[in-house]
Amino acid sequence: MVAASKLPEDAHNVPSTKDAPPPHFLVIGSGIAGLFFALKAARHGTVTIVTKDRVDNAATTYAQGGIAAALGTWDDPEKHKADTLVAGAGLCDDGAVDILVREGVQRVQELIDLGMPFTRGADGKLHFGREGGHGESRVVHTHDHTGRSVESFLLELVAAEKNIEILSGHCVVELATEHHLEKRGNSATVFGAYVLDAATQAINLFKADFTILATGGAGRVYPLTTNPPVSTGDGIALAYRAGCRIRNMEFFQFHPTALALKGKNPPGTPAFLISEAMRGEGAILTNPKTGRAFMQDYHAQRELAPRDIVARAIDAELKRDGLDYVWLDISHKDAAFIKEHFPLIYGTLKDHFNIDITREPIPVLPAVHYTCGGVLVDYDGLTDLTNLYAIGEVASTGVHGGNRLASNSLLEGLVFAKRALEHVLPRLTNVTIENKRAQASYLTQWDHTNTKNPEEWVLVSHDFKEIRALMWDYVGIVRSALRLERALRRIDVIYGEIIDFYNRTIISRDLLELRNLALVAQLTIRSALARKESRGLHFMTDYSEHREPSRVDTIIEPAHFRNTKRHA
């Protein structure tokens, strides 16, 4: 049960709005960033959370490791910042990282004060784990299922808030902008979204004073990923089509250690993640062919090197010796210790895959895990469009640079959700809200004219597999200009086919996800071709690797909006 049900007072007070209608917030996504924002926004207005699947089916739920924060007496935010900058391969935004590590301490403490049940030792004190790239033990966690526990905890708080409505089974088709007005405006403003109700197949207009993208990442653009099926890059695609810039999409993080057992999981299920915390507690990577540990050949920090380095090391071993996997072995540790610290991993592998990690090694290989790029935002989560914010994995805040430091993702969601709300609060005036609502009154309804049920869906559905295979083969851990150019030519054709089909067909969730995936793939390849160097997660055989500081970002400008017959 939740120990406390009231959120602490926000640092900012709402401006005097005696006669103003209560503001309405539309939150798209139900992971840590969206839920934390909604909880705080509910103190100042009404909130609708829309999510296309079950409310708890978010990438947050699948996070195992924990939340990094300099809460220990031996630690401080400057140390955390230094580790984040090193992991980011010289591409982090220094100011954004400073915000993350300093305000992150307050946000994690806030969760603790609310009653979040983080793991504690026998002495009652928080247990801090250590993960790759961290110079100190600073990861608070709930055993090895932190994300699941945080998600459940926040959902319980949300359920207690009368000002929050959650609609599952609702998939956003497009953001509602001035392009959808009967009387076109000149400002780049978002007024809400057009949303598909899976139960009725109706597309309804959800008006909002402020719209918050918290849709997570795009790992499903690859065939092997730890992400849930909902991670199809929806927020990135929605924002780009509406007129937002996209930044650093070439940086997809491959988690080094996902379970490597082909055919054991139903198609489309996430690759089971083996938490980095296991390497933090002494697990060793070994080559099945030679039997030797190999990380000392690649980095002084060995198994605790940043994720991009460990993933490339494993990839090199696999390719050199023709392997399907490498071993991750923690069986040399005490069995009771393993079961206590990694109950989810131990139980899952024992019960579902007949692997006893207290006695034998785990077959692992890299899998796509995190989207380090995304929608370009400022330090408050504000996008290029008025009243549109992006928080969490969908956003590019600059904190991750060319490679995310372990356990900084949930932290980022908390920190920038709070900052987004603080940015909104001074704008809750009656004049601002009433003016925007007057404009929104001219929004058109969705036009279904001349659409029909798909007769050739089987042909287009093949594009799902082709996109993912193309990304894995040509835009993987190691890339080349030749491969990327070939991939772009093919994805351009595929995307054109999908848009043609989309314009003629009744909309479904599958079709929306396919359209979004294809666009994300296109943006990723274009970004990768634009970066003429190897840095962090973007490794090109054509160019040498750089890790010295660089603030040269890859920014994709939005295409001109294409008005289609779907808009009256």
What is the C-alpha to C-alpha distance for residues 169 and 154, in angstroms, rounded to an integer? Answer: 19
The DSSP call for residue 88 is T
Q: Nearest CA to 406 among 135, 133, 167?
A: 133
Residue 132, classed as helix, strand or coil, is coil
307 assigned to active site = yes
For the chain, the first-to-last Cα distance in angstroms comes to 49
Extract the tokens encoding 73: 């007496």
Alpha carbon of residue 67 to chain centroid: 15
CA-CA-CA-CA torsion for 106, 110, 116, 117, nearest 10 degrees?
Answer: 50
Contact between 191 and 177 (Cβ < 8 Å): yes
Going 481 to 487 to 492 to 495, the CA torsion angle's sign is negative
Q: Nearest CA to 319 among 478, 523, 183, 511?
A: 478
Q: Nearest CA to 280 among 412, 139, 73, 409?
A: 139
Is residue 67 within a helix (H) or strand (E), and if so which, with residue range? strand 67-68
**Catalytic residue of the set 138, 241, 279, 307:** 307
What is the C-alpha to C-alpha distance for residues 349 and 338, in angstroms, rounded to an integer? Answer: 13
Burial label, 557 (beta-carbon count in 10 A; 0-12, 13-18, 19+): exposed
What is the C-alpha to C-alpha distance for residues 369 and 42, in angstroms, rounded to an integer? Answer: 31
263: left (phi over 0), alpha (psi -120 to 50) or beta: left
Residue 3 neighbours by CB distance under 10 Å:
11
Catalytic positions: 307
